[in-house]
Amino acid sequence: MENLSDEWDRQYKAGRWHFLNDIKEAARYGILSAWLEQTATTRAVLDVGCGEATLYHYLKSSGLKQYCGIDLSEIALGNACVTKDCTWLVQSDLESFTPKPEDTFSAIVFNEVLYFCEEPELQLNRYAKFLEDDGVIAISMYTPAREKSGANRSIRKVWGETNNTDRWQVLDDLELKSYSKKADWKLRLVRPVRKPGKNFASLHPEVPGS
Ligand SMILES: C[S@@+](CC[C@H](N)C(=O)[O-])C[C@H]1O[C@@H](n2cnc3c(N)ncnc32)[C@H](O)[C@@H]1O
């Protein structure tokens, strides 16, 4: 993971990701924060692969109470402009991050990060265990131009997994098209299916750590 985080650090140092603060990216962050406001899940938000914590600023005006951002890149986290109270930034890869057992989240956001992960479907199920009962997971992923790109493989796994109605309730599902950027994103808001009297681990023993 060290090489990977060095590479992300290098890109952040070079300003490769500054464009995420542009007006042409605002709609995507706006949708994610509107979803969390509407589902009343801004109490404790975990932003996985948070980068410079751009989403934090949108969530602030949607009633955010606590924010935890995790990211591989120390430089990105160092650039984040967040207040110290009720905000935690943790340098970690998403595959090994595990919160303290007493820390649960009302919402977990995977904003433009899941295609950097080999088994995103496993991670979705692993992170679902860190949610409060009514918690939600919000996902955004752009649509790569090349059908056969590696990113597309991960993207298909994420949408395939969250299509599984035994595991996931889809609260909203949409596509965002930017004519000015000539880019498309797909965004989905899901809630893990919880059966009365059963916890996530007993329903999904196949998920590591359950
Ligand atoms: C495209 S940027 C998106 C940043 C942020 N979510 C946003 O939309 O503003 C992807 C981010 O994911 C982080 N990242 C990539 N692979 C990761 C991993 N395995 N674990 C944690 N963070 C990762 C990168 O460091 C980078 O900050």
Q: Among 132, 135, 125, 139, which Cα is nearest to 48's?
A: 139
- Whether 97 lines ligand 1, by a CB cut-off of 6 Å, is no
How many whole angstroms from 117 Cα to the centroid of ligand 1?
A: 10
Task: Give the Cα separation of 50 and 167 in Å (integer).
Answer: 25
Instruction: Tokens for 169, please give them.
Output: 């309730």
- Whether 49 lines ligand 1, by a CB cut-off of 6 Å, is yes
Q: Sheet harboring 183-192: ordered strands across?
A: 87-91, 66-71, 44-48, 105-111, 131-142, 183-192, 168-178
Mutate to test the pocket of ligand 1, among 6, 55, 71 (most ligand atoms within 8 A of CB): 71
The model's pLDDT over 174-202, given as tens digits with 9 standing for 90+, comes to: 999 999 999 999 999 999 998 775 555 55
- Whether 51 lines ligand 1, by a CB cut-off of 6 Å, is yes
The model's pLDDT over 94-134, given as tens digits with 9 standing for 90+, comes to: 999 999 999 999 999 999 999 999 899 999 999 999 999 99
Task: Give the Cα separation of 35 and 172 in Å (integer).
Answer: 9
Least confident of 1-10, 86-95, 133-142: 1-10
How many whole angstroms from 195 Cα to the centroid of ligand 1?
A: 32
Task: Give the Cα separation of 210 and 111 in Å (integer).
Answer: 25
**CATH dotted code for 2-203:** 3.40.50.150
The pLDDT of residue 199 is 55
Mutate to test the pocket of ligand 1, among 11, 18, 55, 72 (most ligand atoms within 8 A of CB): 72
